[in-house]
Structure 1
């Protein structure tokens, strides 16, 4: 099919239909990602020991500290691309794409060197139990050695989605997911490579997705084609990309830093707490499918429509997306609360691990309404070109606030439930803050 058949212009036609058609591939893509995350966890949980499972499960915050930063940059860069796309300024669309890719190439080299070098020290800072550290070092050094592929994959996907193509990233994610599961079964279950096999499977599969995205962009041609001669520094465009993307990257890293501190406190309760919370995170990943998909879609929709001078349409789309995602996640939270023991039991049969996971799940699920509102508000604010506001809010509450709460509260009440409440408290604070900000924000044409 041609380029026009695969790209969705969110500035025309039915708002609800356009938003749904654009968001559905994002949701399916998120679902596939979560399924192969679950495959990692299930294979390791069933074909390796509990320490290996704990090592991989507890590493989400650490990987997101790095990947989340660059993913935030790519999302911010996508907002810039969407703005020019909505205004039909294809010359600047191409310039913004090349600026994003150049940034990704440079960042990939720096990220690889620093993360491979610092992995052991970061694990010590996280208070990782001694029996888990060897497994963690193996997993993360392999993962970070291939982090360049993951960073470039996120950038290419953000570029394609910014111009309305959410279908092809889904296709490539399908291929990646199948490859990941096959490699998991071969390397971990078949060849007994443990955490090393899981890390190799993740890097290879995401690297394949990056290559497929690049091939598609080259075949599409026009403003989507990458020309090596145009991969050069453009000060004004880089300033725009960093202005929109850097706050999002800092926000993601700040969130991850807060979670790392929380994770270090979870780790202090032992490997059963680590594996129990790891199991919960795999289930909760499904809740984030509609949340993150709609948030990313709203950034594109709002940015495209403001670029096209359609303020009312941008507002209508924001309301529809926000309401739909909140309804979906509330029902998912209810189901998780009821089925908590069975869901945690999918990944671990250790009674203590299941107990920790159930306590955490039944504490946070009743607050998913606030979690959803926060993320959709972030998507809207990014589309409005106000990436700094979510950064400040998330850094203040989800990083500093969460760290202060856990550190002080655990000092006086050394109970695992104290950690569980760190999340609902910070979700509620950001919801109130972003609701006030959105009610007072002026929606203006770029």
Structure 2
């Protein structure tokens, strides 16, 4: 019989985290590789301007989808708390409420994104050469936003229950389908950038169906009508935990949009180079980002079960993963920047600009690698406001750095902005993690002492 869920509250942490992490990493890497190959198909099939048009949508897409992703992860933390505490009635009520909130979210975000898309592109000083393609791509992707939100919610619930294999299967199928459709639309039918958006939406619908079908098979979360008839506090708890994490992503995205604003002001070469560099950053940060997701699932379950000592063990495993990825992928950016730039870009000017950016971020990417782990741990211990405020700091540092340095050092300022944002956020979350975990460990020790008495030479629990 297929194992339905994974309990992170029992067993050796490394033996639980690594088997969970690997499918999660493959899922995440596949998504990034898909984005990378997708950019390659667009760039080689339609040219640098088309790549710039799609890349120009990246920060806007992150603003909208990042909000829903953060909300879903916040919901997932509470799902994992209930599962870790073995309170399955509460678990079902929370999942039912998540379904209702996700439907409302999809309607609101779809409406807002479609209505304001053109204004945002104009505000970002999008070049006239690419704005038509950016709009064509954006309108289709945002019209299909429900599929993206549905996948994020389903995948988040599965991860909270310890299932990282189903999202992998979903992304394998969706990526193959997406890239096949991209190639068919562009190289066979000679369609434009808008066809890439259609392929994306179709693939997301398929991935959602796969994850949803898996959720239906898990016996402990079989929902009934009564599960949907919840009191206000259930919704409030979900919103209180999800909204700060959603705003954290959106605030970070706003900082990225401001960087995009400055970049676009220097022309299409800058926009193309920044789009390519962003693809590499997302790809090379991915293993550590995934370690953060593993940290979140492991910490959330153990926090719900009040097994705080295990959280420290989980931290060691996830930080080790981050350091290993830094020593490999970070160094590739340092020592082979022009080679990497040549893969995605054609123009000499764009390649030269990208070759300035990559070594700087490659040498310092360890900061964001560790940030993913510590921030996920803080969120998983029920403190979403701290990561949100660290997101505000990220935005401030990113904007102030790009504003000060862009006119002085040119394209390198985009790299300096990333490094400044990573470092500031890491310091806040690292300190917060240590303080929160220390407090809970102290409470746990005090509780243990209060419930133990000594009779003669025998230690007796007061709880029997």
TM-score, normalised to structure 2, is 0.91
CA deviation map 1:260-299 (0-9, x unaligned):
0001111111111111121122222222221221111111
Deviation per CA, 1:83-124, whole angstroms, max 9, x where unpaired?
110111111111111111111111101111111111110101
**Structure 1 residues without counterparts, runs of 5 or longer:** none
SS at match of 2:80: helix
**Where do 1:348-367 residues align within 5 Å?**
348-367=345-364
Alignment CA distance shift 1:72-1:410 (3 Å): same
**Cα distance in 2 for residues equivalent to 1:263 and 1:54:** 11
Q: 1:31-430 maps to which residues of 2 (within 5 A)?
A: 31-220=29-218, 222-227=219-224, 230-232=227-229, 234-396=231-393, 398-410=394-406, 413=408, 415-430=410-425
Give, in angstroms, the shift of residue 226 of structure 1.
4.7
Equivalences for residues 424-443 of structure 1 within 5 A: 424-441=419-436, 442-443=438-439
Q: Distance in 2 between matches of 1:306 and 1:160?
A: 18
2: CA distance between counterparts of 1:198 and 1:226? 37
Q: After superposition, what is the alpha-carbon deviation per residue over 1:55-91, rounded to whole angstroms, capped at 9, x for unaligned? A: 1122211101001011101101100000110111111
- What is aligned with 2:458? none
TM-score calculated relative to the size of structure 1: 0.95
Alpha-carbon distance between aligned partners in 1 of 2:66 and 2:51, rounded to the nearest angstrom: 22
Q: Please list the CA deviations of residues 285-328 of structure 1 after superposition, one character each: whole Å capped at 9, or x if unmatched.
A: 22222122111111111111121221111111112212321231
CA distance in 2, matches of 1:113, 1:435: 37
Let me know the Cα RMSD of the aligned residues: 1.7
Counterparts in 2 of 1:364 and 1:383: CA distance versus 1, 3 Å: same
Q: Contact 1:298/1:379 (CA < 8 Å) preserved in 2? A: yes
2:38–2:179 Cα contact (<8 Å) kept: yes
Shifted more, 187-196 versus 15-24: the winner is: 187-196
Runs (5+) with no aligned partner, structure 2? 445-464
Q: Note if contact 2:29-2:283 (Cα within 8 Å) is conserved in structure 1.
A: yes
Change (3 A) 1:106 1:226: farther
TM-superposed CA distance for 1:134, in Å, is 0.4
Q: Which sits farther off after the overlay, 250-259 or 107-116?
A: 107-116
Distance 1:126 1:228 in 2: 46
**TM-aligned CA deviation for residue 225 of structure 1:** 3.3
2:460 is matched with none
Could you tell me whether the CA contact under 8 Å between 2:84 and 2:304 is conserved in 1? yes
Counterpart of 1:269 in 2: which secondary structure? Answer: coil
C-alpha separation between the residues in 1 aligned to 2:63 and 2:340?
A: 27
Partners of 1:337 and 1:414 in 2: CA distance: 19
Displacement of 1:228 in angstroms is 6.3
Whole-angstrom distance in 2 between the partners of 1:329 and 1:224: 38
For the residues of structure 2 that align with 1:289 and 1:429, how far apart are their CA atoms? Answer: 20
Measured against aligned partners, the alpha-carbon deviations of 1:381-415 in whole angstroms (never above 9, x if no partner) come to: 0111111101101212x11222123224446x262
Q: Residue 226 and residue 170 in structure 1: after superposition, are their counterparts in 2 closer, same or farther (change >3 A)? A: farther
Q: Which moved more, 1:146-155 or 1:369-378?
A: 369-378
Paired residues of 2:67 and 2:250 also in contact (CA < 8 A): yes
CA contact (8 A) 2:276 2:354 kept: yes
Offset at residue 168 of structure 1 (A): 1.0
Change (3 A) 1:109 1:227: farther
Residues 207-250 of structure 1, C-alpha deviations (whole Å, 9 max, x = no match): 11111211221233x33335567445541111111121111100
Do 1:69 and 1:253's aligned partners in 2 also have CA atoms closer than 8 Å?
Answer: yes
- Runs ≥4 residues deviating over 6 A: none
Task: Label 1:254 to 1:422 Cα distance change in 2 as closer, same or farther (>3 A).
Answer: same
Residue 357 of structure 1 aligns to a residue in which SS?
A: helix
